[in-house]
Amino acid sequence: MTIQNSTFGGKVRARAVMLVALAVWLAGLKAHTGEPSPSDSGTITYTKVLKGSTPEYLSLTVHGNGEALYDGRKLDEPPAPRPLKLTESTTRRIFELAAGLSYFQSVDLESHKKVANLGRKTFLYERGGIKHQAEFNYSTRRDVQELTNIFERIASVAQHIATLEYSIKYDHLSLPRQLRQIQIDLENRALADPELMAPTLEIIIRDPRFLHLAQTRAQNILQRLQNSCR
């Protein structure tokens, strides 16, 4: 019985050593190929600078788990980052597109065509000690355009939330106009993860201080968002 237990224990230990060795080999393979593991997918940051636009400075950093940080302001204003939580599908698509662009390592995204100044845009990928970035004004590559549009549409949602929050505090009369613009943007599919606006819309709906028109539009938008999530 002692011999059998010793033999069994030796097999277990040998199997454990093999599993550990396999895990180490796989981790090394991923590190060699530059492929991030699901638990450490790094961050992707999109920035755009265009003086005279609204906002003049835009920055959006996305983590692999969907946590994001948005900052939109004038160039002479201090940073005012706003946390967001993106959907899994949006986050996954961002990282898929970045992977297809080699995480911006040694890639030329610029069209090199004579076009107007559309803002200096930068994609930045960071993971551990790895850092790659690429800058461009305008790109003809469809994957670059799609990735840019996703970030811009997320930024539009964040900007809508910030504008609504300001009006809730200081300018109730502007709410119907702002909510109408949100309806237009939804119709034009100009917003990504618009359900992020739901908590702010609920504040407008519940507060009797706001105009009936504002509450009606907020309710219509919220209902549309809830239907799209079903």
pLDDT tens track for 97-153: 999 999 999 999 999 999 999 999 999 999 999 999 999 999 999 999 999 999 999
Query: What is the mean predicted confidence (pLDDT) over 145-168?
Result: 98
User: Does 13 have pLDDT greater than 70?
Assistant: no
pLDDT tens track for 55-64: 999 999 999 9
pLDDT tens track for 81-112: 999 999 999 999 999 999 999 999 999 999 99
- Across the chain, the runs of DSSP E, i.e. the strands, are 43-49, 57-63, 67-73, 82-85, 120-127, 130-136
pLDDT at 86: 98
Q: Where are the chain's structural domains?
A: 2-33, 39-228
pLDDT tens track for 178-219: 999 999 999 999 999 999 999 999 999 999 999 999 999 999
pLDDT tens track for 23-40: 434 444 344 444 444 447
Confidence of residue 41 (pLDDT cuts 50, 70, 90): confident
Quick one: which of 84, 198, 201, 206 has its CA closest to 150?
A: 84
CB 62 within 8 A of CB 43: yes
Quick one: which of 112, 132, 113 has its CA closest to 122?
A: 132
pLDDT at 39: 45
Spatial distance between the Cα atoms of 106 and 103, rounded to a whole number of angstroms: 9
CB 60 within 8 A of CB 69: yes
User: Does 50 have pLDDT greater than 70?
Assistant: yes
Average pLDDT, the chain: 87
User: Does 9 have pLDDT greater than 70?
Assistant: no
Spatial distance between the Cα atoms of 94 and 130, rounded to a whole number of angstroms: 18
pLDDT at 228: 85
User: Does 17 have pLDDT greater than 70?
Assistant: no
